[in-house]
Amino acid sequence: MQLLSILVQRIGYAVALLIAVIIFNFILLSLVPGDIAETLAGEAGGASPEVMEQIRKSYGLDQPFYVQLFNYVTRVLQGDLGTSYYFNVPVTELILERVGPTLLLVTTALLIAIVVGTLLGVIAAQNPNGWFSHLVTILALVGFSAPVFWTAFMLIVLFVSILGILPLTGMVNPTTESGTLKWYLEVAHHLVLPSLSLASVYVAQYSRLARASMMDILGSDYIRTARAKGLSQRKVIYKHGLRNAVIPVITIAGLQFSYIFSGAVVIETVFNWPGLGTLALDAILRSDTPTIMGILFFSALVVIVFNLLTDMACRIADPRIRSSRNA
Amino acid sequence: MADTSSDERTITGDVKVTIEHPFTEFLRMYFKNIAAVLAFICFTVIVLVAILGPLLTDLDPFRIVWMPIAPPGQDGFLLGTDSLGRSIAVQILYGARASLAVGAAAAAITLVIGLLVGSLAGYYRGWVDEALMRVTEFFQVLPPLLLSMVLVGLFSPTLQTVVFAIGVVSWTGVARLARAEFMKIRELEYVKAARSIGSKDARIIWRVILPNALPPLIVTAALTVGAAILFEAALSFLGLSDPNIVSWGKIIGDNRDYFLEAPWTVIFPGLAIFVTVLCINLIGDGLNDAFNPKLRER
Amino acid sequence: MHSALKGLLTACAVAVASTSVAIAEGSPQRGGTLNYINQLIGGHFNTNIASGTPTGLPGVQLHCALLRFDKEWQPQPHLAQSWEISNDGKKVTLNLAQNAKFHDGMPVTSEDVAFSIETIKANHPFKTMYGVVESVDTPDAHTAVLNLSKPHPAILLAMSSQLGSVLPKHVYGGDDVDIRKHPNNGEGTVGCGPFKLTEFKAGDFIIMDRFEDYFIEGRPYLDRIVYRRIAESTSRVIAMEEGQADMYAWASDPIELNRLKRTDHIEMTSDGYEAVGALQWLAFNMEREPFNDVRVRQAIAYAIDKDFILNAIMGGFAQRSAGPIHPGSIFAPEGVNPYNLDLEKANALLDEAGLPRNDDGIRFSAELDIIVNRGTFKRIAEYAKTQLREVGIDVTISVTSDIRAWIKKVSNHDFDMTIDSVFNWGDPVIGVHRTYLSTNIRPGVPWHNTQQYKNADLDALMDQASSETDLESRKALYMQIQKIIVDDAPIAYMVTSPFHTIWNKSRVGNPPIDSIWGTQVPWDNVYIKQ
């Protein structure tokens, strides 16, 4: 019951945040010098002032600022993000087409990071001064200090140039029929390098985090009691410890989702992954304002939803934080 | 983030008979961490190279010296040339300046905004806290790299824009940390005492609470510099950097299309970023341990 | 997520490449699907309102044009089977094919021709194409007569497919229609071209199938053209290498070209880009000091090694360009100063211009604007920066990362120097005069005389050239014009854009490379080797 009211409150709050994002986007992007008429004139190979005036009119740019803002907000709330200047397609369509690959990449990387990171941390915590623990510490530092695109390039050198066992770019061979087993295998094959590169940063962070919280837990009364009750070391760690070590990892992962999304922009560029990141870079370099606004809005939406989900997941997993408001 | 407040500091482990001056203790703890000491030395060398390197040579990093994409070691070009025939080694030498300067400046903006927002929210609480935290959350939902790409794209890529764009999108973590520290410390006895004798808010914030909240913030500051260097590198890599100034990220961004033919154009500048950021992170670790002996002992 | 991925997959599924690759030389065969890829895809196919090549390429398959041009710049019959220009050059009579039909079965008549020329005149960015056409008479259904106010040397070239099509008047309706927003520009397109539109997903793909009632008997050979957009460079290369795509035009990335050049089954050529005539150059703002001094502009031209740009930046895939007109044109500059690399001369000119070096070796500082901070533009800018530093000019590259901001800046003359790519568009009257006429300094409008170049003698010569119809006299005039321009150096000419058409030679017969418009002509002669 209490959970439900918190959920309702959070959703209401998320909607307010989204409206703020829309307004912010609109104001930000209207600061750019020049407008669509100039972009279109550029693509058409030049245009006369009369034609440019016509274009401005047909895109509603001759109206006062607040009218344009109001129109934009209403349209976005109805799910209409406008039409891309560059691709000439509704932005919503463009984003929906690209969001699948990005989510696939990001969630795969995140899963790898959470699973591998937590496991490394938990193992390391059992013997804080052992070689494995030191190795994890070093790995964490390395993963955290290397630029993600550089890690990607190094992995390319190893797996593509030297070993030649993984594909360099793209997501799937364009002629492979979708939905077939071959198609899924190809996507998986292409996914290995991008997701590993992206995960590297977070494996590093999460292993550190898991190690620290595991050490905290191992020293807590709760585990001492469990041990005193005669449970084996292994059982204590994997049954009681793991669950508690993974919660802070998930919490941080939730908070960091927007950062992981950021990393995806770089990784998608390296691997030509057909996701939102490459779309965003394209849109920025070609000053495709509706698409830029659409992507900013959409990524905020994804982050908000994701935060909401992890928040709820943690509240369910850990009764202790169920009641507190700011987890 | 681990619990790093100073008030809970307890002396455990090998008990000393005499009580040390906190700074001596800090130094002793820091120097116990060999990696942190080495990192500090290494980082000092990098900074010196960045400052002095360009002064010692009169090389121009933009100068075309040899044929494009010549491999390292050929004809005296230590690290090879890039896609325009410019020396990678000279570019890395000059790039150090821009990368470190952007890192430091962006980190400074990050810290100033974060500290202001966090301290005011943590100290005043109530509606001030509510309002500032809403702003913080707003910035947290927009993917930082995406937002900074848009900002750099909007205002044309110059060094200043890049610094601004990084600072504006990365302060939220600092703000949250500062807020937590301030909230905790403001309830402590000595703060209450200061308030009861009628000290002004500004004085309490800057003179009483801040010094006590410093240790975790210093550690964060160090890590923020490293993060800002990586951030700049990512922007440059995507082609959103000042074309007139060589930075490590720019060298990689300029040559990434030639990566398969000329991997050295990407490997070496990347290595420079990696080593620098690694040093900074190790220093941060060392600081953290030195401020929190308790954690170190574990 | 699944449904989102699906959208992407349908697009992939559409392009099913046939796997049988048998090399059979000889006569064209009927049948087969041509898989074409492009970096861009247009939002519509109406060539009468926009000059973009991504609009034109599919547009000319769906529509038909009045004339075709061969490799020697000679007009060849198409929808206009014959034509006649009166002695005073003011009346052009076109005799249309009798059997031409639109995709909806309606006949193509002179009314449609008149309507189309009017739409071009009213909407197309190139006003000089039909600017002198006062009226179009339609004495009968298959005769159209253009009445000109004065002779126009490019009137026939303006009838090329890329520059305008014959649109169905009955589909577009009456006079009060907004042609820019008409559905017939996109999904509903009805034309009289060799292919009819089957499916169009903007930004993604176009499927065109053979039009059985095409007015040329037995053509086209292809059953279907699948035009797909692949935005990513490497993916395009892989698609060509692995035979998933048969043809790829407008490729201009030297890295891509270099990689594809080494693939056995692939052939490539820069033929067919003569009419479009894309040049990459460095333009000056002649109203700004010190660029108002011809010696400074010349010095800069001398300081830049065009061969370095050609070889190191363009990978040898471009050509040198010495003047305002593309080297592939019949009016290509001859005997103009090529401004070969000469740093001594550059330094001497700058000294002469009264710009001594200061203690740091700097004479003056200037800004160089570029449109995008990537690719060959960026490389040329960084190279120019380095070279100009050698002669004491401290260049700051200014990037807006944003084409709009660039247009705003340059078209309002708020710049020192800029690197730009400008097209000749067939005839100098259409695409060259605009850059140099002093009457064409129009603030706020891009790709005009943004250099603010003013030369009255030149204006007079260009005016003369715009109504001179004798080829030899025109050639002489353009040699004279180009010599003046190159000496005045409002622009430092560098190279052509390295556009190439690439095709799988074991699959594609008669690739569209045998005309000055290259791929921008109806592909009714192209076939798949079976």
Question: pLDDT digits over B85-132, tens only?
Answer: 788 888 888 889 889 999 999 999 999 999 999 989 988 888 888 889
C234 to A287: CB separation less than 8 angstroms, yes or no: no
CB contact under 8 A, A144 and B281: yes
The identity of residue C150, as a single letter, is K
* Binding-face residues of B in 70-99 toward C, CB within 8 A: 83-86
3-state helix, strand, coil in chain A (%, to 5): 75, 0, 20
Q: How many residue pairs bridge chain A and chain B with CB atoms within 8 Å of each other? A: 132
Task: Give which of C307, C394, C401, C407 to mutate to test B binding, by max B Cβ within 10 Å.
Answer: C401
Q: What are C140's strand-pairing partners? A: C143
Question: Three-class SS of residue A296?
Answer: helix
Given a cut of 80, whether residue A25 has pLDDT beyond it is yes
- Give the A window 170-199 contacts with B, CB below 8 Å: none
Task: Tell me: pLDDT of B17 over 90.
Answer: no
Interface of C with A in 437-466 (CB under 8 A): 442, 444-448
Of the candidates A87, A98, A170, which has its C-beta nearest C238's C-beta? Answer: A170
Q: Which residue of B has its CA nearest to A206?
A: B1
For residues C171 and C115, is the Cβ–Cβ distance under 8 A? no
Judged by CB atoms closer than 8 Å, whether chains meet at C232 and A101 is answered as no
Q: Do A45 and C125 touch (CB under 8 A)?
A: yes
**pLDDT number for residue C61:** 96
For B240-298, give the DSSP string. Answer: -S-TTS--HHHHHHHHGGGTTT-THHHHHHHHHHHHHHHHHHHHHHHHHHHH-HHHHH-
Query: What's residue B298's pLDDT?
Result: 38
What are the tokens at C71?
A: 């490799």
pLDDT surpasses 50 at A12: yes
Q: Quick one: what percent of chain A has pLDDT higher than 90?
A: 2
The reply to whether A147 touches chain B by the CB within 8 Å rule is yes
Q: Which residues of A touch C231 (CB under 8 A)?
A: 278, 282
User: What was the pLDDT predicted at C334?
Assistant: 92
Chains touching A (at least 3 CB pairs under 8 A) are B, C
- A291 phi and psi, to 5 degrees? -70, -40
Of B234, B281, B298, the CB nearest to A145: B281
B140–A154 C-beta distance less than 8 A: no
- Using a CB-CB cut-off of 8 Å, the residues of chain B touching C313 are 84
Asked if A157 is an interface residue toward chain B (Cβ–Cβ < 8 A), one would say yes
Report which of residues A49 and C50 the model is more confident about.
Answer: C50
CA distance C472 to C365: 45
CA–CA separation, C270 and C316 (whole Å): 12
Are C276 and C424 contacting, i.e. CB atoms less than 8 angstroms apart? yes
% of chain A beyond a pLDDT of 70: 80
In this prediction, residues B169-192 reach a mean pLDDT of: 86
Q: Which residue of A has its CA nearest to B274?
A: A146
| B202 interface with A at CB cutoff 8 Å | no
The per-residue pLDDT for B151 is: 87
**CB pairs < 8 Å spanning B and C:** 57
pLDDT for the residue C11? 35
Angle A303-A308-A311 from CA coordinates, rounded to 5°: 120
Task: For this complex, say whether ipTM is above 0.90.
Answer: no
Nearest CB to C312; choose among B63, B85, B244: B85
Where does residue B199 rank: exposed (0-12), middle (13-18), buried (19+ CB within 10 A)? middle
Chain C hits for B60, Cβ within 8 Å: 386, 389
Least confident of A101-110, A168-177, A254-263: A168-177
Q: Are the C-beta atoms of A321 and A315 separated by less than 8 Å? A: yes
> What would the pLDDT profile of A149-202 be if each residue is shown by its tens digit?
898 888 888 887 788 777 777 777 656 667 788 878 888 888 888 999 999 888
In this complex, is the C-beta atom of A216 within 8 Å of any C-beta atom belonging to chain C?
no
Decide if B154 and A265 are in contact by the 8 Å CB cutoff. Answer: no
In this model, does residue A85 exceed pLDDT 80? no
The model's pTM: 0.80
The closest CB to that of C399, out of B60, B68, B156, belongs to B156
Nearest CB among B141, B280, B281 relative to A300 is that of B141
Find the mean pLDDT for residues B28-54. 85
- What is the spatial distance between Cα C160 and Cα C169, in angstroms, rounded to a whole number? 19
Which pLDDT does position C10 carry in this prediction?
36
**Nearest alpha carbon to residue B242 among C404, C366, C396, C419:** C396
Identity of the residue in C233, C387, C401 whose CB atom sits nearest the CB atom of B240: C401
- Chain C closest-CA separation from residue A88 CA (Å): 5
* Confidence at residue B255, expressed as pLDDT on a 0 to 100 scale: 85
Average pLDDT, chain A: 78
Q: Please state, in angstroms and rounded to a whole number, the distance separating the CA atoms of residues A291 and A96.
A: 12
pLDDT for A48:
62
- pLDDT at res. B2: 40
Sort out which chain A residues have CB atoms less than 8 A from B145's CB and list them: 259, 262-263, 265-266
Alpha helices in A31-129 (DSSP H): 36-44, 49-58, 65-77, 91-126
Report the alpha-carbon angle A284-A287-A290, nearest 5: 90
From chain C, pick out residues whose CB is under 8 angstroms from the CB of B83: 379
Q: Which of A59, A63, A289, A46 is nearest to C444 (CA)?
A: A46
Can you spell out the DSSP letters for A78-98?
TT---B-TTT-SBHHHHHHHH
For an interface test with C, which of A28, A35, A43 has the most C Cβ atoms less than 10 Å from its Cβ? A43
**Residue with token string 């333009």:** C283
C386/B63 CB distance under 8 A: yes
Cβ of B7 under 8 Å from any chain C Cβ? no
What's residue C175's pLDDT?
59
The first and second tokens of residue C370, run together, are: 């570029």
* pLDDT score of B4: 40
Closest CA–CA distance from residue B263 to any residue of chain C (Å): 15
C positions 157-186 inside 8 Å of A (CB): 180-181
C242 vs A contacts (CB less than 8 Å): 173
Inter-chain CB proximity C235 and A169 less than 8 Å: yes
CA distances from C23 to B75, C504, C508 (A): 47, 11, 10
The reported pLDDT for the residue numbered A37 is 67
Element (H, E) at C503: strand C500-504
- Whether C203 sits inside 8 A of A177 (CB atoms) is no
Q: Say if B239 is an interface residue toward chain C (CB within 8 Å).
A: yes
Mean pLDDT across the stretch A29-41? 65
Report whether pLDDT(A230) > 80: no
Query: In the block, which residue shows the tokens 């008549």?
Result: C109
| Structure confidence at residue B7 as a pLDDT band (50, 70, 90) | very low
Reported as a pLDDT band with limits 50, 70 and 90, residue A319 is low
Which residue on chain A is closest to B235 by alpha carbon?
A266
Nearest CA to A253 out of A198, A292, A179 is that of: A198
Residue with structure tokens 């600022």?
A65
How many DSSP H helices and E strands does chain B contain?
13, 0
Which long-range contacts does C461-464 make (Cβ < 8 Å, 24+ apart)? C462/C433, C462/C436, C462/C437
pLDDT at position C95: 95
Chain A residues within 8 A of B280 when measuring between CB atoms: 145
Q: Is the pLDDT of residue B55 over 70?
A: yes
Which positions of chain C have pLDDT values less than 70? Answer: 1-26, 174-177, 203, 373, 401-402
Lowest-confidence range among A22-36, A254-268, B10-24? Answer: B10-24
